[in-house]
Chain A
Amino acid sequence: MKSIRILQGRAVPLELSDVDTDQIIPSDWLKRVERTGFGRGLFSEWRDSPEFVLNQEQYQGATILLAGPRFGTGSSREHAVWALMDYGFDAIIAPSFGDIFKNNSSKQGLVIVELPNADVEELSKLVKANPALQITVDVERRTVEVAELSWERSFPLDAMTRERLLNGWDDIGITLRRDAEITTYEKTSHSPTLNGIFDASGHSAR
């Protein structure tokens, strides 16, 4: 995971509530064997329509998604997070989120910004009026800012998630900080390994 201090970019207003994980990435996409390439499946039920906000010219290249309440409810599929990140989003701003989705996001480095409904609506309005508006999400200060309009709000971010994002630690990275302890444990472990049981082609003596 990359370390994330400050994100800056344009936003796209989705303006829909209760966007569940099936809508973010439909289940036929779960059959893939890769962890990349899910961006093409993002919101795939809606992507065919030229009207769909993601297809509109002025929002191409946006890196922040503005959504309605209860974004990412539904199944535990991490694919939803992979799809959003693979498409190019690095932060989602919404009034509330599905629990597991939020948890999965923090593990992958997708920044979750919870703001009151009125603030999200206001931000959407500002973005619609000026799609080129630059929005800054500051993980360190826990703020969302539109500098040119002197618009700034704070958002909640627990210490652990903030630490993860700032240092670029994913779950594995956090465990690997204990590499020395793992190595020490391994030296004293009496549990047999597979060494010497199978040859290069998986055959064994018995």
Chain B
Amino acid sequence: MTKQTLYEKIWDDHVIATPEGESTIIYIDLHLVHEVTSPQAFDGLRLNNRKVRRPDRTLATADHNVPSDPLSTPVNDPISRRQLEALDENCAEFGITLFPRGHENQGIVHVIGPELGVTKPGMTIVCGDSHTSTHGAFASLAFGIGTSEVEHVLATQTLPQQKAQTMSVTIDGIVGPGVTAKDIVLKIVNTLGTGGGAGYVIEYRGEAIRALSMEGRMTVCNMSIEAGARAGLIGADETTIEYLRGRAGVPDGAEFEKLAEYWRTLRTDDDATFDKEVVIKASEIVPFVTWGTNPAQVIALDGVVPSPDDYQDADSKNATARSLEYMGLTPGTPMKEVQVDVVFIGSCTNSRIEDLRSAAVVAQGNKVASTVRALVVPGSHRVKKQAEAEGLDQIFLDAGFEWREPSCSMCLGMNPDQLTPGQRSASTSNRNFEGRQGRGGRTHLVSPGVAAASAIKGRFATPDEVTL
């Protein structure tokens, strides 16, 4: 038998038909829905008198528009409120399980799927959101889709798809102490560039990836889209299986072991080949921060703000100059001297329990600088509850961080948590585009530990600066 990559195995397992001259039709095992990209899809169903084919493969949660304010605060923005209400009504009408604001299972769509154990190895998973690639950490093929495709999946539980090219990104060796999954993926995006993954599904491989927890693997897969890739995935192993054991969505006992047996096959065969292979040395990965307006513009925290003169070609020179101007940075300034106004610990990249723990270790016994507003926004109610059981909320509150309700929050300017023009943030989210966190806001992407240390120092800082 020919050797197959993980992507090819999952793909083959889901092909329904390959019509002559058209795209392949693949089956979708799990469709995750949120309030922003679904209303018109449901309206389309109504216009055409169609039903949701598989409500038992469809799960909805409110996240993008949900304020992170206490649950007693109403949703004041009329558009947000309408989108949330529309989701309530649509899920009721079409028989879809929904976790609305305040529900014990509510949270960011890419946090709740895995933590509830509904994200499982070998599945095809889609959601009207580009960071659906997060679920690829579970050896599943997961990717973001547009609103018409959301409607298509609701109606048919399938999607017409072109098969992607395969790319392996291998991290060679193990990373040093203080280096996190976020630093690994920032390095990957920096290496590939924002378009380097276009047309590919990336499989992350190597010792450093194997050594990551599921939380860390999700952080890596989450940002696949920032390199332009269709999806990112990681083969299943005992870490995957142990994470899922005992979760709400998986069976117990012999049934679980049977599933686990199948999951163990969800890895790339030895000697299978990829269309493209990239190797990154683990020794080159250090704590990173983005300095510009796209996630590939990355430098070491110990580094200095780059200069347009560092580049040879006119395009890069111009792009660098433009980014620096928007970011309000002067070439040559050490990053650790750049002051921050806001620190955001949250988003589907870094809002899981392990992320909060790594920030809490740094926060413990320290105080947030008087010039900084620092928010901690757990990715879900379950994460929040777990953190509170471990006393992390108290550590954050004692240090002067805000402890907020689950939401996409300051990851994007769709809810009340926003930067004001000119404000600079250290953020654990995934996009530093112009205006992403609010008009005129300046976003720097970092790991949770660096975010917490920066909150305390009032400037970019590494955890070792405050925990020694």
- Segment touching B, from A15-23, A49-57, A124-132, A198-206: A198-206
Decide yes or no whether B247 CB sits under 8 A from chain A: yes
Shortest beta-carbon distance, B466 to chain A, in Å?
A: 37
Q: Are A204 and B40 in contact (CB under 8 A)?
A: no
Give the chain B neighbours of A172 by CB distance below 8 A. 48, 50, 151-152, 155-156
Given contacts A175-B156, A202-B98, 5 further A-B contacts (CB under 8 A): A185-B16, A190-B262, A194-B118, A197-B249, A202-B97
Proximity bits, A162-184, B CB within 8 Å = 1, else 0: 00000000111001101001100
Give the chain B neighbours of A204 by CB distance below 8 A. 105, 116, 248-249
Is the contact region of chain A dominated by helix, strand, or loop, or is it mixed?
loop
Given contacts A178-B17, A182-B157, contact A203 B104 (CB under 8 A): yes
Decide yes or no whether B126 CB sits under 8 A from chain A: no
A202 to B105, CA, bound (A): 8
A189 to B123, CA, bound (A): 11
Is the contact region of chain B dominated by helix, strand, or loop, or is it mixed?
mixed
Give the total of B residues in contact with A, Cβ under 8 Å: 48
A69 to B191, CA, bound (A): 41
- Could you list some 27 contacts between A and B, CB below 8 A? A34-B43, A35-B40, A35-B43, A35-B47, A172-B151, A175-B25, A175-B152, A175-B160, A178-B25, A181-B16, A182-B25, A182-B156, A185-B16, A186-B27, A192-B120, A192-B259, A193-B57, A194-B97, A194-B118, A194-B249, A197-B116, A197-B249, A203-B105, A204-B116, A204-B249, A205-B248, A206-B246
Interfacial residues of chain B within 256-309, with CB under 8 A of chain A in the complex = 259, 262
A-B contacts counted at CB < 8 A amount to 99
A172 to B44, CA, bound (A): 11
Give the chain A neighbours of B148 by CB distance below 8 A. 78, 107, 171
Decide yes or no whether A118 CB sits under 8 A from chain B: no
Using CB atoms and an 8 Å cutoff, list the residues of chain B in contact with chain A: 16-17, 25, 27, 29-30, 39-40, 43-44, 47-48, 50, 54, 56-59, 79, 82-83, 86, 97-99, 103-105, 116, 118, 120, 122-123, 147-148, 151-152, 155-158, 160, 246-249, 259, 262
Q: Are B155 and A33 in contact (CB under 8 A)?
A: no
